[in-house]
Structure 1
């Protein structure tokens, strides 16, 4: 039975040797050599230091292509033309599924044809040497962004390769992503990732860890997202991680988004140990985008304005080509510059919006209910509490493909566009909070002249891509 306990050093070494045998580039990982390489990096490439010392939100896009030279060119362009402060290396899907042979075949084909035959950078196949060439060639900190339920070999190679930030976690890279891996399995796998990051940290190389805040990216109630962030943050801290960036995905209502980001930072500092430096990252809208690029830029700008008011430490930007799929580097750069323009114009203004404090209080109360049930289910142990809470439905994520979550909770927007919970299922929440949600949704139903139903949920999922926030029915609506 796994528990929230630090992996002993001898067990860490045993697992490390085992997983490095899964692909030949694992043979090049040498911990002492890696420490020396990290120590040689200049201050402006040290991810945690750059992030934690910033005086305004830093911008980071998503980006990854298979060939090393092309990845270098892409990141340089985003840094120089897009003015990105922090850079990503998005990993390909085969690597995320630990299918390194298929990733190798895709990489070789990309080298032969010049085509992007993979949807990201196969870091395991490029190995330590390839990763270091990327780190050396680009003049900004770079993070590994992926989606991997079992990221152990990826972490071992990229940490040794010079990356100092690593996205993901056992819940956020399981529940929204896969049916193939049980939650207990991914928690155990990610304990190794976090312990390895902790081992580097203990030698003076702080590896920043960033749980994936948007989860399924579709109308996720803020308290559910924050609870998952706190759980993953606590699990990482147990293993010795000391720089943790908690994530949150935009839902679209400014009051609720600002309140949620405020609550995330406050609760992060409250629930995580004092020795952990807590930062926050705001993901611009992760749902469907309008097909028209002008309207898409409107969505991006709205995210920039929200960030200017809430002042998270980092913003993950979007491009006006989101509807089409993978953007060109020019479009990716445009999304960065659009966000930067809005933030720089708005951040020095004092913008007061009514209702933020009240919404933040509600989000904090909801989050505490969820965290309390985790502690109760596990008799204080976060791992066991998380497993049992998800198994019982006391903790849940809407629209989750994983069998490890019930996926029975359903959200819908209220009359102001804030995400409320329409179907609670077995989610652990106080009755008075449920009544607040019920009343807000009833108000919307009255405005629209229809009963509360799943139709509201479905309408809201597509609303922003259709050019609105709330999925109103066609016809007369009492506004």
Structure 2
């Protein structure tokens, strides 16, 4: 028998409800990746985001590296010693402290999402339930393969238990699949789309109310716009109506080092997200390549991104974008269907499909990933298959990229592709922005 959900007062509005309401008003929700160990600074950060009333926004509490690996003692010892953390230790700080930290969001009617990065999130979910926080991110695949050595089978069990905990103790719990951000860059769009759908189905199967589907900006706007359309079509076909929305991540790979290049990439990414109809956007800052962003840099980036709403609306696909949509949709559907046909137990299907290569993430070194797939960037800036491994793709389809052997120098050039593109010349940020 399931326990009754906890009835703790909410520390913020529900993320999915808020995003849905803003969508009805044709507004994009802009969200930073902010996290500080000091409760006063974390509260100041949320207050600064909440005070931005000119656009829709969501607060974030990003957790620290110690909490991600289950160390709940070191964070407070570090803070007492004057050592800064790269995020907020939500399990270590007492509940009353975190309630005070989150109060600016509650007082201003905006949501707060907990972002963490751990493959064993039970303690984090339990603390969220105690606090009345309902939104987080991750997944059994996306928070396991890129981040450590925990066997995938153990991550699947941990996430199954965590989803059940959320279903039993958190009313209207929400999890954002991190599947669209696998490895940060150079992962084929169809893999990103497929993992999103698989993880969202996993969340819903174990009682989570709603999910969001992520997509990280790649190397080609046309390919990304087609891929996002494919992700949305897949969600319409595989997920219940009203249970999901799409969140766009600004480029997760090597970021431009110059302020001008970084600013232009942020603005261009915002424009792409709007033109693609994404409901929520995770915003990067101009200091991504240099340091942990300050509160001021986060607010500057939010304002710069939101300024794009004055110029752009969602746009239909061009013919080139339609071609990308078709190829990504066909590949992703083949992968998802193969996983669903593997076993009625989705957790077991995930484990088996990584063993047999039906799921295989390019350039991922985790022991449970076969590592037979590779991608490369073609002359148009699009990600193509260099090696398809054992993925269940129709090799006769003409759009599938040619097999290609990559040298180490070519791989390193691919990693810096976006950074070189935006740092190579001076950009003028849109005059629409007056931050």
Instruction: Tell me if TM exceeds 0.5.
Output: yes
Q: Secondary structure at the match of 1:54?
A: helix
Q: Secondary structure at the match of 1:257?
A: helix
Q: Secondary structure at the match of 2:133?
A: coil
Select which of 189, 192, 195 maps to 2:161. Answer: 192
Q: Which residue of 2 aligns with 1:50?
A: 18
Distance 1:49 1:376, change over 3 A: closer
Q: Is the 8 A contact 1:184 1:387 kept in 2?
A: yes
Distance 2:351 2:18 in 1: 35
Distance 1:264 1:128 in 2: 37
Q: Secondary structure at the match of 2:215?
A: strand
Select which of 383, 400, 417 maps to 1:437. Answer: 400
Q: Which residue of 2 aligns with 1:23?
A: none
Select which of 269, 291, 299 maps to 1:325. Answer: 291
Moved more, 415-424 or 454-463: 454-463
Distance 1:229 1:329 in 2: 30
Cα deviation, residue 466, structure 1: 1.7
1:176 equivalent to 2:146? Answer: yes
Distance 1:57 1:309 in 2: 11
Cα deviation, residue 395, structure 1: 0.8
Distance 1:430 1:252, change over 3 A: same
Ranges in structure 1 where 5+ consecutive residues have no aligned partner: 1-7, 14-30, 443-450, 471-479
Ranges in structure 2 where 5+ consecutive residues have no aligned partner: 425-435
Q: Which residue of 1 aligns with 2:57?
A: 85
Distance 1:90 1:426 in 2: 36
Distance 1:437 1:352, change over 3 A: closer
Q: Which residue of 2 aligns with 1:64?
A: 35
Q: Is the 8 A contact 1:61 1:84 kept in 2?
A: no
Select which of 321, 332, 339 maps to 1:367. Answer: 332
| Residues 83-133 of structure 1 deviation map (CA, whole Å, 9 limit, x = unaligned) | 561010000000000011112312323xxx3x5x21100000113322222
Cα deviation, residue 375, structure 1: 2.5
1:285 equivalent to 2:246? Answer: no
Q: Which residue of 2 aligns with 1:234?
A: 201
Distance 1:469 1:390, change over 3 A: farther
Q: Is the 8 A contact 1:224 1:397 kept in 2?
A: yes
Cα deviation, residue 242, structure 1: 2.0
Distance 1:292 1:36 in 2: 45
Two-structure CA RMSD over aligned residues (Å): 2.3
Distance 1:272 1:437 in 2: 27
Q: Is the 8 A contact 2:46 2:104 kept in 1?
A: no
Alignment TM-score, normalising by the size of structure 1: 0.82
Q: Which residue of 1 aligns with 2:91?
A: 124
Select which of 47, 72, 81 maps to 1:100. Answer: 72
Q: Is the 8 A contact 1:307 1:343 kept in 2?
A: no
Distance 1:267 1:191 in 2: 23
Select which of 154, 167, 186 maps to 1:219. Answer: 186
Cα deviation, residue 141, structure 1: 1.0
Cα deviation, residue 325, structure 1: 2.5
Q: Which residue of 2 aligns with 1:466?
A: 420
Distance 2:131 2:212 in 1: 21
| Residues 162-186 of structure 1 deviation map (CA, whole Å, 9 limit, x = unaligned) | 222111111100011112x111111
Corresponding pairs, count: 416
Distance 1:436 1:454, change over 3 A: farther
Distance 1:322 1:246, change over 3 A: same
Distance 2:132 2:311 in 1: 35
Distance 2:243 2:364 in 1: 30
1:246 equivalent to 2:210? Answer: no
| Residues 431-452 of structure 1 deviation map (CA, whole Å, 9 limit, x = unaligned) | 124x52335x88xxxxxxxx86
Q: Which residue of 2 aligns with 1:18?
A: none
Q: Secondary structure at the match of 1:279?
A: strand
Which protein has the larger Cα radius of gyration, Structure 1 or Structure 2?
A: 1
Q: Which residue of 2 aligns with 1:376?
A: 341
Q: Is the 8 A contact 1:178 1:401 kept in 2?
A: no
